[in-house]
Chains A and B, each alone.
Chain A
Amino acid sequence: MPKDVALEIRQLVQRGFDHHEHERVHDALSDWETAQRLDGRNVQVKRLVDFARQRVVELEDGQHPSPSRRDTVESPIPQFLAALTERRSDKVAIPMGPLQDGPTVKAGIDDRETPENDWSLLGEPKTPPKGSAKGSIIRPDPPAFRPKDETASDTLEDLPMDAADVRASANELLGECRAALNENRAGPASLAAELALQLAERAPPPGVDDLIDPAMALFERSFRAFMGNPHACPIRAIPTESISDHGLDQRAAFLMSRMDGMTSMADLIDSSGMPRFDAVRVMASLRRAKAIDILPPLP
């Protein structure tokens, strides 16, 4: 068969993505530059080259998190649920709000703008240093509040939560979500939405559906605001194999498998086959877990 340049470019682009998700940014750049030499007019490839060059500069300037830092990104959600458990058993008050140092359990949303919320289209959101309260939703790594049995904490029936506490927390989270969104703080709004949903999913009878159901539109707005430009195109920033480390499931894996650097977030959501709300929610989780990077929209 005659040489197929288009096929060769596609293979190089794909190989570049593989390098990128394994943090081999220089190799990714090299593959994409080779593809660009094959077809200088290819807008898709040009966009990737620009992205990788910027990433290389960030790496060299030390602005970009190293793989090890990326690996330490923790989902605040299990800790939040653990905190609820603690609250019930130890009757410790959980103030919702800015975090402070000290032993008190926190289960609030940071109402300050954090680097995490600055979702630059080409930049990697900064991860706060480990142990620092700034930018965290829950004080990082609080051994005392970890669920004693992590497997058990993943299942609803095993969570020893008190219905009244859950209701109070759900109300607070709703308030946090609404306030944050009104103040244009998409990160905290989105996280509050996610926490409220997880809480509702695990709540003991009679549940909190009467509070959560009317807020679904608010939650979706929060997730969308957090995702930013719907025409921007996500790419995988971590290998799919490692998503469980980030508290993500096979729906996230499915969405990641659709990411090709050309399909916009809006199209990914539309073509996910999932209910739209679920797709937006999973996408926000991926973004929160720093499992994806974002390319600007195709021109």
Chain B
Amino acid sequence: MAERVIGIDLGTTNSCVAVLEGATPSVIANRGGYKTTPSVVAMSESGKRLVGHIAKRQAVTNAENTAWAVKRLIGRPWTSPAVQAVKAAVPYPLIEGPHGDVRIRLRDQVFSVPEISAYVLQEMRAIAEEYLGQTLSKAVVTVPAYFNDGQRQATKDAGRIAGLDVIRIINEPTAAALAYGFGKKIDGKIVVFDLGGGTFDVSILDITNGVFEVVATAGDTFLGGEDYDKRLVDWLVQGFAKEHKVDLRSDTMALQRLKDAAEKAKCDLSAVRETEINLPFIISTGRNQAFHLHRVVTRSKLEELTLDLTERTIQICRLTMEDAGITPEDLTEVVLVGGMTRMCKVQELVGEFFGREPCKGVHPDEVVAMGASIQGAALVDAAAAPDMLLLDVTPHSLGIMVAGGHFHRLIERNTTVPTAKSHIFTTVRDDQTSVKIVVFQGESDRAEENELLGEFVLSGLRKATKGEVEVEVTFEISADGIVSVSAQDMETGAEQSITVTSTSSLTDSEIARMATENQDHMVAARAEEEVEKERQRIEKLVEEAEALLPKVEEILAGTPFGEDSLDNVRLILDDARMAVERRDAGGLEQVAEPLLRTLNMFRGVVDSGRSRSS
């Protein structure tokens, strides 16, 4: 049997894991029964690493040590405008890494962005392993369609640090369409409208005879459910301030409760027309005056507070459709992805814009992971998804910088991958013996306005008049979207190439070190768990022995061997108590056997005492 491959939707705010069971993709719930897990990692005061729900639930009270939405940072260089925008918006400290990359400081430790993502991937893997009862090592991970090469590579690095072999990176809208179309015959153009917790993406896919092609994609990386929550929180804070003259934002615990309650109310309002937010003892003043927050929120109030946000998504859809030259009539389906699309107003506006009812056959927050699991199964076992072929497109144009700082495109955006394109360039100076190939990604004609992916030098060119020496530059993009660039001297055949790993990614040795450290951390955590289990076992034995001790003392009182034996037993119990209190692994091991012997002796004495008296 082929090894199982899990599909992971590594989201900005939530992540989800699925596996193909038989012919059905199943989303796996975590221990709390939730099918999505917050993509949040925190470091507690005691230095414990918190991942998922527990990390999210302390994100406000421990804001400086809680990393969230790191997907907005992954694979981006420190100087990128997106990083600077995130830096201004998040409370956790970002610092520049040794390769011009982004690092995150949580308490006294500094982490690379892929490391933080790795902890989330690891959590998803653990959820799947617990459910399936087997060790898993292969995964398909999804990324937004607009992710560039560096971001894709960094996501793969995160997988490696988590001990996962990421056998394929696929685009989120592609995965959604795959899950939506799995087991049924779909042909035509579909729109994937993905409004998640932190980002919005819209993609148009063309599906023909089982071939999925992303023909256009756009979005806003700073628009999602959290913005909706924030509107509701602001409204509650303002209302409270008006009523009590107290600013809830001044108290992190109050704000944390408010944020949690606002998110819950928002979710509830997708199913009911009004809901209550009841937060007793939300804050107290210096004079020990306690305040309670009690407010009724209606669906229409929430819609009113957030209408501009929903309308912004529609505006992006409009631009994307125009850009792709597609009208709503050309579409066959509208697929909703992301928890926010459960909101009635979102569904209503999407339906109005596209002129059709969005399909509701799949859970919006599970569909991407389901698609990834289908792709994963197909990669290791073609029979799992017959006739399935995935064709993605590159979301950005790729090219090199030429004389005058201009950007020469070799691969236009929305070109289907895998692909390869070549172009012949000439030297621009007399006697030029080397050329510097600077690779960019983007849409601007000015190279410097695009994103730098990497650079290399081809040297040893023949000295000649400018324009005489020809160099062929070839770009290749693999099915994973990973870019390789090569340059060849047409005369001598000399060649230089790079696999673009972006200027911001980690080196191999760094990834290996991080993976080892992560492994060590897991081993230590497991060992800690074992010690804790043993501590609990010994604690129970001590409790039982202590409960029997008075009876034993009574029975043995006056007997010739009683006092000596009891002194010895008390020493054993003291040692055991100390080992329990100190959580000392060696001590626990040492006391286990004599303690058990003592307890058996106690049981025997008490039993014999009982039978004597009866």
Contact = CB atoms under 8 A, between A and B. Distances in A.
A1 B270 CA distance: 12
Nearest to A41: B131
A262 interface: yes
A57 interface: no
B572 interface: no
B184 interface: no
B253 interface: yes
Interface string A184-220: 1000000000000000000000000000000000000
B230 interface: no
B526 to A, nearest CB: 15
Given A1-B360, A273-B62, A267 B284 contact: no
Contact of A249 (B252, B281, B360, B361): B281
Interface string B372-383: 000000000000
Nearest to B583: A230
Contacts of A130: none
Nearest to A2: B363
Interface string A228-266: 010100000001110110000111111001101011000
Contacts of B362: 2
A240 B57 contact: no
Contacts of A267: 50, 54
Contact of B532 (A231, A239, A240): A231
Interface residues of A, number: 42
Question: Which of the listed residues A9, A270, A276 has the most CB atoms from chain B within 10 Å of its own CB?
Answer: A270
Nearest to B131: A41
B532 A271 contact: no
Contacts of B292: 241
A249 B251 CA distance: 14
Nearest to B44: A270
Contacts of B35: 6
A155 interface: yes
Contacts of A1: 342, 360, 363-364
Interface string B237-271: 00000000000000111101100100000000000
A44 interface: yes
A276 B46 contact: yes
Interface residues of B, number: 48
Contacts of A260: 32
B463 to A, nearest CB: 67
A274 interface: yes
Nearest to B546: A184
A297 B253 CA distance: 26
B577 interface: yes
B532 A184 contact: no
Contact of B34 (A10, A241, A253, A273): A10
A198 to B, nearest CB: 14
A44 B32 contact: yes
Contact of B284 (A2, A6, A250): A250
Interface string B276-307: 00011111100110101000000000000000
A4 B251 CA distance: 36
A103 interface: no
22 contacts: A1-B360, A2-B361, A2-B363, A4-B363, A10-B33, A42-B33, A44-B31, A154-B288, A231-B532, A231-B536, A241-B281, A241-B292, A249-B290, A250-B251, A250-B283, A253-B280, A254-B256, A270-B45, A271-B44, A271-B58, A272-B61, A275-B45
Interface of A: 1-2, 4, 6, 9-10, 13, 42, 44, 154-155, 184, 221, 225, 229, 231, 239-241, 243-244, 249-254, 257-258, 260, 262-263, 267, 270-276, 297-298
- The 6 lowest CB-CB distance pairs between A and B, nearest first, are A273-B61, A253-B281, A271-B58, A270-B44, A273-B62, A254-B253
Given A240-B281, A250-B254, A254-B256, 14 more contacts: A1-B360, A2-B362, A6-B35, A10-B34, A44-B31, A154-B288, A155-B287, A249-B284, A252-B281, A253-B282, A254-B253, A271-B57, A272-B58, A273-B58
